[in-house]
Amino acid sequence: MTTTAKIFTEMPSQVTVMEVSPRDGLQNEDTLLTTADKLALIDHALGAGCKRIEVTSFVHPKIVPQMADAEAVCAGLPERADVKYTGLILNEQGYDRLCAARKLDEAGLVISATDTFGLRNQGLDVATGISMAQRVIQRGHADGFPVQVTIAVAFGCPFEGDVSIEKIEQIALALATAAPVEIALADTIGVAVPDQVHRAFSRLKDVLGDAMPLRAHFHDTRNTGIANAYAALLAGVNTLDASIGGIGGCPFAPNASGNIATEDLVYMLDRSAVSHGVVLENLLAAADWLQPILGKPLPSSLYRAGTFPASVTPDA
């Protein structure tokens, strides 16, 4: 017997856009950007009004060569009291490196929703990943340093298939006992659909309460990313990840293509009267700068099609 999903309600009046192109956007690219180019990309994001940016990850350089200069990127970050810089970590060693860099405002910890992906991605099954995350979050409390957690492959795993909402609920509740500053669900391989997204985040809202901020991370692998973002907002998500130009992907997941494009997301938010503080024209300028750097067309739909004019003057 099937159950009926909750009816979608209304969009929030305001959301936060988390710009992830300097980390998740670049980590799967063949072209290795210089530290200067990465800092230029971050400057473009700042110029577009992004106030929360994932700037790098502290992972082994042999596994993710694109992130080998994490400390150098951190050293070059502009001092901005109004911006929150985040670094991604996979374990306690990553947390040590991030704290030693001294320039970031938040640690973004990732654990997996399935044993197989977790073992391939960071050498940890789900239970071990949860224990590690709880320790890192507790260390963050002791250090006075915010730690948020993302549950990867939350909507489907390339090795184990579907992931149940019940499993995601159990993982989120276990993480919540350590009191992270935020919990996110990531569609790492781009298999989610809006009904699934809405039900999952609605369940987390029910069990975690309004005091726990929720974030969503979508990939547009199967052309459902923006629709999934819309469904997440309707379920009460506070923050959405996106990447300039729609670049990105996971090196540990087969055929995991890019993130939702920040400009595509902002276009949807603008025309839905949702406030976010990011300037669409500046995002398009950033994409225009980025495309020749990467040497290939960007996946972003809006970058290819252009914005919809506010008004059209008919021919005389």
User: What are the catalytic residues?
Assistant: 250
Encoded amino acid at 278, one letter: V
List strand residue ranges (DSSP E) for the chain, in order: 16-19, 52-57, 84-89, 106-112, 147-152, 183-187, 214-218, 239-242
Q: What is the dihedral of CA 183, 299, 47, 280, to 10 degrees?
A: -90
d(CA 168, CA 165): 5
d(CA 99, CA 78): 17
Q: Note whether 86 and 54 are within 8 A (CB).
A: yes
Structure tokens given for 291: 């495309």
Q: Note whether 152 and 248 are within 8 A (CB).
A: no
d(CA 122, CA 129): 9
Phi (first) and psi of residue 121, to 5 degrees: -85, -40
